Structure 1
């Protein structure tokens, strides 16, 4: 009976912990959406003139633009109308392309989506592999890995993109300099250099953080006990090191995966890819505020969703997280 009551109390506490995480994510998106919508109102001068780049418009055209973007209404009323449309995946019309912002972003995701996934796989596999090997080997290997992680972390993405283009496209001619390719194999070939350029910083972060996490687990008492009992080195690393270090690493991986979406702006521009990142850059330069607002809101939503999913997955990877969170 007591155990049943304890189980019910534990489930209620765990459900409350999940509810807090989800509610926190929703509030974050709402606050960010207010700031994103309000940015248009903070433009110096007339926002309509800022969007049109000073082009001469008739009074009827100016009034139509004001109504389209909710500038003829108060802030609260305009925001509620805008966020209501956004919840229906309607981000308005692009002032530059004269088409739906949603369709523009959806069409560009065909390039940005594979690029982000490709880059994430490269960063996670190489970063964690280097981190684990350097933590286990130690000595010269550990120092070399630390130097490589420090250099890659400090290298800006645009520098990596220029260097890769100069060496592998212009110099050696191994990879194409621009374009996204057609078909699976051709697309992977075209996206290899952009994916590597995006993955370099993420690789450095994962290698450094992963090395520290794995090294800490290797020094724990239960690892020494397992070794003294004759458990094989591979089994010790798999069961006691990697598994226990996975929880803190998952948080870093989630953050880096979401940040890759923002990183597409630099890489896609450098490699001439028609993705969401290059669309954001061109929309900022052309003052296409509806497109900028739509991409910004999607980026915030991606960060919040990924971080919330990571938080919800933590208790299943490390039950201590759930116990600690439920107790607060």
Structure 2
């Protein structure tokens, strides 16, 4: 019985397969739009690649041949997409290194920053949301709501500048730029950027947790549990277990917003991550880096969305049996 309860039913498996196919279709459409950046970018593509070098007919012909610009757009797209699937992202014009190398050198910082910010937001916001629901109307609830409004309203760069001002001038206890020398020093350098990102994410999770817990605390099974004399801690555990479904799915989807927020956070705190790489590549019209990095981010976001769907199936037995979200 226990093994049957956790097994995905055929309707749920079919739903997950349809989601996967839909995600694949979305990625194909996004790849076409991202590839079109090569032609939508202002100015001539060859002149952008040549920069300030003399544009002789021979140089133009060599550039067109080197980057396969003399082929049809369809052939160029298929060549680029095939290379992306096999890990060949092309050559960075600005850095003069393979795009895959440029991304891999900066991927660790961005991944560590996103993971740090996400864990920090979850560890603080979920208990605060539960406490806010339990103490609804009290000073804790009002304080949490005020902090959530600030976190939702303030832009990422504004929060970053505020933290820089406080911890660089008023209370200089944390490093304010760079990534440090590794280990604990890197964690300390990433603390302020992680707090900057966690404030916005945590504000939404506080609201989600509070709303979900309030709904569960008003249900009949909670009233029955209290009438049977169960301790308040046990009642809260039962309510939080059922509230975990919207919290988990919401938090997973909010994780995708960290990818966009890292651009501003890394710029504010001078971190050599993917956000800074994307910003510099856009400014210098390094199309190969912009295309590959944008599609890579799209793949990460869609993968997170699929994992959220899978988490919903695992957490809610009704969805596993019917394949229809409750």
> Structure 2 length as normaliser, TM-score?
0.93
CA deviation map 1:109-167 (0-9, x unaligned): 12111111111111111111211110011112222211211111111000011000110
Distance (whole Å) between structure 1 residues aligned to residue 66 and residue 129 of structure 2 = 52
In the alignment, what sits opposite 1:322? 320
Counterparts of 2:56 and 2:70, CA distance in 1? 16
Deviation at 1:302, TM superposition (A): 0.7
Partner Cα distance (2:123, 2:309) in 1: 22
Q: Deviations over 1:271-291 (max 9, x none)?
A: 111111111111111111111
Alpha-carbon distance change, 284 to 227 in structure 1, aligned in 2, over 3 angstroms? same
RMSD of Structure 2 on Structure 1 (CA): 2.0
| Alpha-carbon contact 1:315-1:321 (below 8 Å) kept | yes
What is aligned with 1:196? 195
Cα shift at 1:64:
3.4
Q: CA deviation at 1:27?
A: 1.0
Q: Does 1:61 align with 2:53?
A: no
* Counterparts of 1:243 and 1:275, CA distance in 2: 36
Question: Is 2:12–2:322's contact at 8 Å kept on the other side of the alignment?
Answer: no
Q: String of CA shifts for 1:179-207, please: whole Å, max 9, x gaps.
A: 10122111111110011111111011111
- The 8 Å contact of residues 262 and 275 in structure 2, kept in 1 or not, is answered as yes
Instruction: State how 1:52-131 maps to structure 2 within 5 Å.
Output: 52-53=50-51, 55-131=53-129
8 Å CA contact retained: 1:152, 1:200: yes
Q: Which residue of 1 aligns with 2:144?
A: 145
How far is the alpha carbon of 1:261 from its aligned partner?
Answer: 1.8
d(CA) in 2 for partners of 1:245, 1:294: 38
In the TM superposition, residue 55 of structure 1 has moved relative to its aligned partner by: 4.4
2:185 paired with 1:186: yes
1:250 corresponds to which of 248, 265, 281? 248
Q: In structure 1, list runs of 5 or more residues that go unmatched.
A: 1-6
Q: Distance in 2 between matches of 1:93 and 1:100?
A: 4
Q: What is the aligned partner in structure 2 of residue 175 from structure 1?
A: 174
What does residue 226 of structure 1 align with?
225
**Cα 1:251–1:55 shift into 2, 3 Å:** farther
Change (3 A) 1:257 1:65: farther
**Distance of 1:210 and 1:101 partners within structure 2:** 41
Aligned equivalents of 1:70 and 1:121: distance in 2?
Answer: 44
The residue aligned with 2:37 is 39
Task: Find the aligned partners of 2:306 and 2:316 in 1 and give their Cα distance.
Answer: 16
> Unaligned stretches of 5+ in structure 2?
none
Q: In structure 1, what is the equivalent of residue 277 of structure 2?
A: 279
d(CA) in 2 for partners of 1:300 and 1:64? Answer: 32
Equivalent of 1:269 in 261, 267, 270: 267
CA–CA distance in structure 2, aligned partners of residues 68 and 133 of structure 1 = 61
Q: Distance in 1 between matches of 2:65 and 2:324?
A: 48
CA contact (8 A) 2:109 2:273 kept: yes
- Which secondary structure does the structure 1 equivalent of 2:36 belong to? helix
Closer, same or farther: CA 138–45 of 1 in aligned 2, 3 Å = same
Please report how far the alpha carbon of residue 59 of structure 1 lies from its aligned counterpart in structure 2 after TM superposition: 2.9
Call closer, same or farther: CA 1:68–1:324 in 2, change over 3 Å: farther
C-alpha distance in 1 between matches for 2:197 and 2:262 = 8
Between the two proteins, the alignment pairs up a number of residues equal to 320
Deviation, 1:53, is: 4.4
Q: What is the match of residue 165 of structure 1?
A: 164
